[in-house]
Amino acid sequence: QTDKQLNLSNEELKKIVLSDIVDKSFLVSADITRSIYDESATFTDEIDVYTMDKWVKGTKALFIASGSRVSLVGDVDVSASEVVFRFDEDLMFNIPFKPVCALTGKVVLTRDEKTGLITSYREYWDQSVNDVLKTAKFGKKA
């Protein structure tokens, strides 16, 4: 287990999450700063619930980070209980024809009040799964 960054201030946590979104595109690369997450954290999207290891492995396998685009919409809001941000992304899937789907939504990261670590990642999409799949474009990135 890596050393955890316990009880970070809201400002410190915001800097790390901001870097994970903007610099590392973690929504498609799964390059999270693991030290801010509790090892038992669950990751939930509109499809399923995953352990951290399964989410990291699955995300890395499912998307082509270099062909995807993740944009932060607005700011990252951090409180003692949660971190919330909105996103706009084009996801390139690592399957034949490499389709790209567009979606927007928000992520809510729940923090443990005692440790300050993130115990839950929850993704909310503005569109239904079917509507997202209908946006699929094939071939070159838009």
- pLDDT tens readout for residues 93-113: 999 999 999 999 999 999 999
Task: Say what the pTM is.
Answer: 0.94
Q: Among the residues of the chain, which ranges form H helices?
A: 10-22, 26-29, 52-62, 129-134
Residue 139 pLDDT greater than 90, yes or no: no
pLDDT value at position 109?
98
| pLDDT-based confidence at residue 18 (cuts at 50, 70, 90) | very high
pLDDT value at position 83?
98
The two tokens of residue 109 are: 């990261």
The number of helices, as runs of H, and strands, as runs of E, in the chain is 4, 6
Residue 2 pLDDT greater than 90, yes or no: no
